[in-house]
Structures are given as C-alpha cells and as structure tokens.
C-alpha cells in the first residue's frame, strides 16, 4: 500500500465511511478508489488532492506528496521490469576494485535516478503555462502506451485560463486546460490560438476551407468570423481541471 492510499483508507475508516460512500463523494468509481487505496492505480496529483479534500484532509497538499509518493500508486509489478532494463542500460563497465570503492551515497543517487527514469514511462511532469507561455507550475499526468491523450508527451502542456471569456463553455478564469498539439482548425473543438497579436481560447466552427467562426461566451455569446490564414492554431483543448469549493 502506498503512503497516499494508506492515508485515504485510514481517514475513511476513521470516519466510518464505506469505499462506495467515499467514491460517490469524490465522483469516482468504487473500484477506482479501492485500487488507489491498495496502491495499484496510477493517480494524477490533482485527483489525489481532490480525494483528500473531499474526505476532510484539507491540510494535505502537493508539497506533502513528492513525485515518489504519487509514484507509489503505480503497480510495481509493471514498473520493476522497466527499472531493471533502465538500470542495465545505465550500469557502466567497471573493474571490481572500482565497484568496491563506490560509496553508499553514489549508489543511492543512481538508484533514485533509475527509479525516476523508469517512472517517466508511466507518469509525465507536464508544465502549466500562463498567458505568455511561461511555466508557472507542473502537474503529473499518466502516460498510456507512450502517449498522453494520443499525443507526444513532450508536446503536451496545460494552459492557465487568463479570463472568463469561455465560461459559457465551462472554462473559467484560473482553470487549467490540458492541450495537445494542433496546427489546423478542428470543428467543434476548443482551441488555443494566436489571433491579431493576442492569444485566445476559442471554440471553433469551420465554415469552409478558408474561414472559421471563433466563439466565446462570457456574459453573452459572441462569435467572430476570421480567415484561417490569419490565425495561428497552437493546440486543441482536451480536458479542463478546476478547484472544488
């Protein structure tokens, strides 16, 4: 059991709650919660904090859960073979005398880096970018079959919504939007784009092969027709994260 899973289970039992009750409160399935408690399920850091907050552990935050803590929810039976492969690739050829002279600190340092290298195959530290595309924080995201939402993990980033221009489409100021690369318009998608020397989140409606409608919705719905050639499409939005309460 991981530290995170143990903490959730201990607090749940203390409050005399069943897994089903907690799962319902957190908006997840009972099987998902049980897997987290058992330490066999990969869980994003924002989801971990949401569960902790929901069951009343408001003092826990990301500063108290390191990469290793979150990684402890990974099924070690799957990760350990990868770690062994990475370790074998990294192990230099040394003479026996040199190996004997290795210090404990060096060995621990190598072991730690091997763990982090292996972990990259299941979790990715994805940057949260502000309106001027500078990283302001990072979030851990599960990697499935070497991809995040079907995209190269190195090309994926979160975008911090700078205003309420898209709140009619359920994206409010301060929400964090996961994006994947897209350099052409996607009909019906919410996209991050450059237009008239500004960066926007807008819902796209493709009118024809030359024009699109850029839709926003703050207090009122607004739409502007623009030439595709005048727009720099940066990314497609695939997920939005927001703080509860």
Q: Is 122 helix (H, G, I), strand (E, B) or coil?
A: coil
What is the reported pLDDT for 104? 46
Q: Which residue has the higher pLDDT, 63 or 243?
A: 243
What's the CA gap between 22 and 17, in Å, rounded? 7
What is the pTM for the complete model shown?
0.56
Asked if the model's pLDDT at residue 32 lies above 90, the reply is no
Task: Specify the higher pLDDT residue, 52 or 2.
Answer: 52
Q: What is the mean pLDDT of the chain?
A: 78
pLDDT at 45: 65
pLDDT band at 77 (very low <50, low <70, confident <90, very high): very low
What are the structural domains of the chain?
3-71 (1.10.260.40), 76-121 (no CATH), 126-241 (2.10.109.10)
DSSP 229: G
Quote the CA–CA distance of 99 and 94 in Å, as a whole number.
6
Distance between CA atoms of 77 and 223, rounded to whole angstroms?
52
39 compared with 214, residue with greater pLDDT: 214
What kind and span of H or E run contains 234? Answer: strand 231-241
At 152, the pLDDT band (50, 70, 90 cuts) reads very high
């Amino acid at each position: 059991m991981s530290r995170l899973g143990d903490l959730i289970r201990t607090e749940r039992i203390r409050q005399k709650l069943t897994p089903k009750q907690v799962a319902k409160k957190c908006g997840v399935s009972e099987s998902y919660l049980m897997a987290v408690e058992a330490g066999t399920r990969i869980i994003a850091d924002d989801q971990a904090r949401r569960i902790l907050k929901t069951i009343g552990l408001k003092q826990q935050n990301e500063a108290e859960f390191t990469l290793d803590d979150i990684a402890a929810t990974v099924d070690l039976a799957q990760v350990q073979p990868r770690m062994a492969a990475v370790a074998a690739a990294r192990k230099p050829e040394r003479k026996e005398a040199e190996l004997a002279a290795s210090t404990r600190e060096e060995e621990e340092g190598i072991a730690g880096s091997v763990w982090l290298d292996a972990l990259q195959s299941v979790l990715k530290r994805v940057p949260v970018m502000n309106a001027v595309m500078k990283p302001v924080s990072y979030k851990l995201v599960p990697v499935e079959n070497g991809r995040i939402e079907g995209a190269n993990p190195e090309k994926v980033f979160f975008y911090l919504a700078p205003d309420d221009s898209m709140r009619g489409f359920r994206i409010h100021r301060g929400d964090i939007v996961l994006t994947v690369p897209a350099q052409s318009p996607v009909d019906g998608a919410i996209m991050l784009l450059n237009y008239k020397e500004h960066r926007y989140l807008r819902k796209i409606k493709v009118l024809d092969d030359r024009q699109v409608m850029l839709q926003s919705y703050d207090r009122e719905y607004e739409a502007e027709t623009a030439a595709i050639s005048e727009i720099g499409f940066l990314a497609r939005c695939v997920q939005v994260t927001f703080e509860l309460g």
